[in-house]
A and B are shown apart, each in its own frame.
Chain A
Amino acid sequence: MNWADDLQAVTLTLELAAVVTVLLLALGLPLAWWLAHTHSRWKAPLAAFVALPLVLPPTVLGFYLLLLMGPHGWVGQATQALGLGLLPFSFAGLVIASMLYSMPFVVQPLQTAFEAIGARPLEAAATLRAGPWERFVHVALPLARRGVLTATVLGFAHTVGEFGVVLMIGGNIPGATRVISTQLYNHVESLEYPAAHRLAAVLLAFSFGVLLWVYRLRNNSTSIAATALDGAPRA
């Protein structure tokens, strides 16, 4: 084990977190918007499903994903039929698992921010000739901007910090699925405590910095933003 391995793990982690965050925002914005406005009977089941990773051990999630995406799961059979091979123990599989695992940290702040806006600004925009898409882009998103920021930061930070799901789905393959937390685990396994310290300290400082920033934002913010931050799940 040397610096290069650590650096590779750090790079891979950042790459994973960036990809997951971008995809989660793309998925989470419409999902949170729908959850904030629907009266559908599917709202509660879907919201509960999104929140599952908050309470489930990551290994449970990882276990089921492993079965689903494995050679006998229907996702695995689909990916094989499409010529994509199997997802477990690949970067793509890790992305999918991480998205599920970090989803509440993105969807919930967004949903709370959208709910805090209320119907009135959107109604006002509708009477000012703005169609549904314009209302979303030019009114809802700017008014929910702190919620979007919170969702982005928490989604990124939470993906950086995951371990259990990574181990179940990604394994520990250098350059493909070995992220900071698994590299740290390797160091400890091999009793390389100074190296473990190094990575652990980086993660600790990073996580504290992110949370400090989020809570500062909460204290300094106006009402809408404050309620948006209240939507941040407390893990």
Chain B
Amino acid sequence: MIDAALRLPRGRFTLDVALSLPSRGVSALFGPSGCGKTTLLRCLAGLEHAPGGRVAIDGEVWQDDEAQVFVPPHRRAVGVVFQEASLFDHLGVRANVEFGWKRLAPSQRRVALDDAIAWTGIEPLLGRSTAGLSGGERQRVAIARALAVSPRVLLMDEPLAALDAARKAEILPAIERLHELSGITIVYVSHAISEVARLADHVVLMEAGRVTASGAVAELLSRLDLPLPPGEDVGVVLLGEVGALDAPWHLARLDVPGASFWTRDPALPLGHRLRLRVLARDVSLSLVEQPGSSIVNQIPAVVEAMADDAHPSQLLVRLRTREGASALLARVTRRSAQALGLAPGQPVWAMVKSVALLD
């Protein structure tokens, strides 16, 4: 576990958190700009010192002011990727990647330099100077550089925020694969729900310097009682695997706990684990199964809770699949909700028009 208890006054807010993050997988610190998530990350890295605080990873204490322990950043096994790549302009790409690696004792080099380079796909850039690199290339070099110090935890501070959509699309898959390939714990700061949905296993929701909620991504993103940003992106993340293939029709059945979805065959083998995103706007509700419909994904579920949506005409409905294992969100109009007599406990059919595969 990564344990942190930190209190640090900032201009507009006071960072005041006590949290535990799993020391495996990808944890996202998620919240609006200026909510303290970057400050929290900097405290974990040792770049900021919150007086009286405590930071430990798997029992190794990095900061404990009561015991007068503060391990400086260069002695912490962290890798940090900043919002801007922050490459050393006086060094070429290869020297940037090797900067931290060559400062490690050989026995500490658990990540091979070649692996860090291969995972980020920067082989073709190694001979270049940093001056001619695109924003996406710079950020990939920065990620390789941070991986090459074999960190116990890789801290990423909105690494995509400064990039345009095309560059984001170029890097996001690389970041997705990182944890799988390297096994390195990642703490990822973001204010973009789409990145959190794609990357995170564990989510910490922050607001005004405090942690408002934390939990597994599938549970947390389906909660209606949290100040999640409203809008088109509202939806759930489901973790599942390829359960069956219908080759003649190029379809695949994706099984998540308590439900299955037919979707376009993603050309993945049976049993391949993947993550799905089902947006609330793509889920409508029916009291009965609709055999005469083109919508093939009709999931039996029970209404669990209802909450106001951003627009006064609409409601968000949280559903629980009948086996109770997965949560879904549906966006319906208030008029429909009344016509259907929706209320908690009511059995319904979730008509899922579209499912997005996230990896």
Contacts and interface: CB of A to CB of B under 8 A. Distances in A.
A219 B277 CA distance: 53
Contacts of B88: 121, 124-125, 139, 142-143
Given A131-B74, A145-B90, A125 B99 contact: yes
Interface stretch (B75-83, B217-225, B328-336, B341-349): B75-83
B72, B80, B88 interface centre (most CB from chain A within 10 Å): B88
B84 A127 contact: no
Q: Chain A contact residues: over half helix, strand or loop, or mixed? A: helix
Contacts of A126: 46-47, 72-74
B116 to A, nearest CB: 12
A127 B73 contact: yes
B145 interface: yes
B73, B79, B100 interface centre (most CB from chain A within 10 Å): B73
Contact of B86 (A121, A134, A142, A145): A121
Contacts of B104: 129
A120 B80 CA distance: 12
B99 A123 contact: no
Nearest to A129: B103
Contacts of A125: 74, 88, 99
A143 B74 contact: no
Q: Chain B contact residues: over half helix, strand or loop, or mixed? A: loop
Contacts of A123: 47, 73, 80, 82, 86
Given A120-B82, A121-B86, A121-B88, A127 B146 contact: yes
Contacts of A224: 89
Nearest to A127: B80
A130 B86 contact: no
A127, A130, A142, A224 interface centre (most CB from chain B within 10 Å): A127
A26 interface: no
A4 interface: no
A128, A131, A142 interface centre (most CB from chain B within 10 Å): A128
Given A124-B80, A124-B88, 11 more contacts: A121-B86, A123-B47, A123-B80, A123-B82, A126-B47, A126-B73, A127-B76, A128-B74, A134-B103, A139-B88, A142-B88
9 contacts: A120-B84, A123-B47, A124-B82, A124-B86, A127-B45, A127-B47, A128-B146, A129-B75, A224-B89
